[in-house]
Amino acid sequence: DAGVTQSPTHLIKTRGQQVTLRCSPISGHKSVSWYQQVLGQGPQFIFQYYEKEERGRGNFPDRFSARQFPNYSSELNVNALLLGDSALYLCASSPTGSGEKLFFGSGTQLSVL
C-alpha cells in the first residue's frame, strides 16, 4: 500500500507569490494534518482536517489556508509568501485524527527568495 504522498517535492517561489501544496493520505485514512518544519527545529502544527472539516488550527497567520476533498486528499495554500515561510511542509495522515499515530509523507521543501 502506498504511504502518504506529497507534491511537489521541491518548490522555489519569490516573496509575495502564492503556493499550493498537495497531499494524498494513506488509503482508508480520513484525517490529514499539516506541519511546518523550519531547518533545525521540530515540526509545528498548522492544520488538521477530518471528513473535509477543519478540526484545528495552529498559531499561523490567515495567509495559510487548507482544504480537504471528498477523496480525503488535501491542499495547503500560502498567500503573500514571506522569506520566513521557507521550510519543509509535512503532511501526515491518520484514520480519524483523534489521538492516533501520525504517518508523515516526505514533505515539500519550499524556498522563498
Exposed/middle/buried for 101, CB within 10 Å: 0-12, 13-18, 19+? exposed
Q: Is 44 in the site for other proteins (CB under 8 A)?
A: yes
The reply to whether 58 sits near other proteins by the rule CB under 8 A is yes
Of 26, 87, 90, 112, the residue at the interface with other proteins (CB under 8 A) is: 90
Binding test (CB under 8 A) with other proteins, winner from 19, 24, 25, 43: 43
- Point out which residues pair with 91 in neighbouring strands: 34
**Residue with smaller CB distance to other proteins, 79 or 102:** 102
Using CB under 8 A as the binding criterion, the count of chain residues that bind other proteins stands at: 28
- Work out the burial of residue 74: count CB atoms within 10 Å of its CB; fewer than 13 is exposed, 13-18 middle, 19 or more buried: buried
Among 43, 41, 25, residue whose Cα is nearest residue 92: 25
Distance CA 35, CA 46 (A): 5
The residues in 2-41 that bind other proteins, with binding defined as CB under 8 A, are 4, 31, 33, 35, 41
Binding-site ranges for other proteins (CB under 8 A) = 4, 31, 33, 35, 41-45, 48, 50, 55-56, 58-59, 88, 90, 97-99, 101-107, 109
